[in-house]
Amino acid sequence: SAYSFSLTTFSRTGKLLQIEYALNAVANGRTSLGIAAKDGVVIATDKKLASSLVDVGNVSKVEAVGEAAGGGSGMVYSGVGPDYRVLVRNARKSAQTYYRQYREPKPISQLVKSTASLMQEYTQSGGVRPFGVSLLMAGLDADGTPKLFQVDPSGAYFGWKATAIGKNYLNAKAFLEKRYQEDMELEDAVHTALLTLREGFEGEMTAHNIEVGVVSKTDGKFRVLTPEQVQDYLDEAT
């Protein structure tokens, strides 16, 4: 950008208002959540669309990141969709570059650090605004442990056992806090994730207006569940 000065500057009280406003954009976004089980991670989001005329197959919110580089990382967001796509692109290229240099998949913790670092740059670089999204990144770390991370517009990141972001996140987190157990298995985690999502859902939740992604310790690959697979889980819940 041609600007040499940052548009994100401190207020008298020490706040960076642009970041606060970005967090507002996130809080108004569709709910997303994730749970790290002992043998895998699940992330899910509300995909409700503006009208029934929208071709739902073209909308993708849960995205795999490290697949082609032998890894199993994925991410989802709450907030401004187009900003998210830039971050997905960046994360994918970062995972591939790592693989070229090291011939090993980029561990999720390293991916999180790179992405967070990029988001921070946009709060200090000339002429740009922060990304209007919070991300939930899920994957297996270098030692094979399933991990879930949240990355905020400021570039701050947190590791979570389970969390929710976007609209209604407080209720969703309270619900998760009650249901989360240390040695939860992935199957249970998926069920709990769906239950949590349904709690704050406006209208009927179906396999076509949510998106779920899963990475399991057994095969180490991140998969976005097909509507049929999601439907199976929904049927089991009733």
Partner 1 sequence: RMSILEYNGAAIIAMAGKDCVAIAADTRLGVQAQTVACDFRKVFKMNDRLFVGLGGLATDVQTVDQLLKFRQNLYELREERQMSPKVFSNVLSNILYEKRFGPYFIEPIVAGLDENNKPFLSGMDLIGAPVYTDDFVVTGTATGNMYGMCETLYKPDMEPEELFETLSQALLASVDRDALSGWGAVVHIITKDGVTSRELKARQD
Tell me whether residue 103 or residue 178 sits nearer to partner 1 (CB atom).
103
- Taking a C-beta distance cutoff of 8 angstroms, is the pair 34, 147 a contact? no
Tell me whether residue 143 or residue 183 sits nearer to partner 1 (CB atom).
143
Among 102, 195, 206, 219, indicate the residue that binds partner 1 (CB under 8 A): 102
HEC secondary structure over the chain? CCCCCECCCECCCCCEHHHHHHHHHHHCCCCEEEEEECCEEEEEEECCCCCCCCCHHHCCCCEECCHHHCCCEEEEEEECHHHHHHHHHHHHHHHHHHHHHHCCCCCHHHHHHHHHHHHHHCCCCECCCCCCEEEEEEEECCCCCEEEEEECCCCCEEEECEEEECCCHHHHHHHHHHHCCCCCCHHHHHHHHHHHHHHCCCCCCCCCCEEEEEEECCCCCEEECCHHHHHHHHHHHC
Tell me whether residue 113 or residue 217 sits nearer to partner 1 (CB atom).
113
Among 86, 142, 174, 195, indicate the residue that binds partner 1 (CB under 8 A): 142
Nearest approach in angstroms of CB 112 to partner 1 is 12
Q: Is 237 in the site for partner 1 (CB under 8 A)?
A: no
Tell me whether residue 159 or residue 227 sits nearer to partner 1 (CB atom).
159
Among 60, 110, 145, 231, indicate the residue that binds partner 1 (CB under 8 A): 110
Nearest approach in angstroms of CB 121 to partner 1 is 17
Which residues make beta-bridge pairs with 160?
148
All residues at 6 or more sequence positions from 134 whose CB lies less than 8 Å from its CB, including other chains: 23, 26, 77, 78, 79, 150, 151, 152, 153, 165, 166
Q: Is 104 in the site for partner 1 (CB under 8 A)?
A: yes
Tell me whether residue 157 or residue 175 sits nearer to partner 1 (CB atom).
157
Contact positions with partner 1 (CB under 8 A) in 77-96: none
Q: Is 158 in the site for partner 1 (CB under 8 A)?
A: no
Tell me whether residue 60 or residue 110 sits nearer to partner 1 (CB atom).
110
Among 5, 82, 103, 144, indicate the residue that binds partner 1 (CB under 8 A): 103
Piece of the chain touching partner 1 by CB under 8 A; list 24-32, 34-42, 54-62, 100-108: 100-108
Tell me whether residue 14 or residue 144 sits nearer to partner 1 (CB atom).
144
Q: Is 101 in the site for partner 1 (CB under 8 A)?
A: yes
* Residue numbers at the binding site for partner 1 (CB under 8 A): 100-104, 107, 110, 113, 142-143
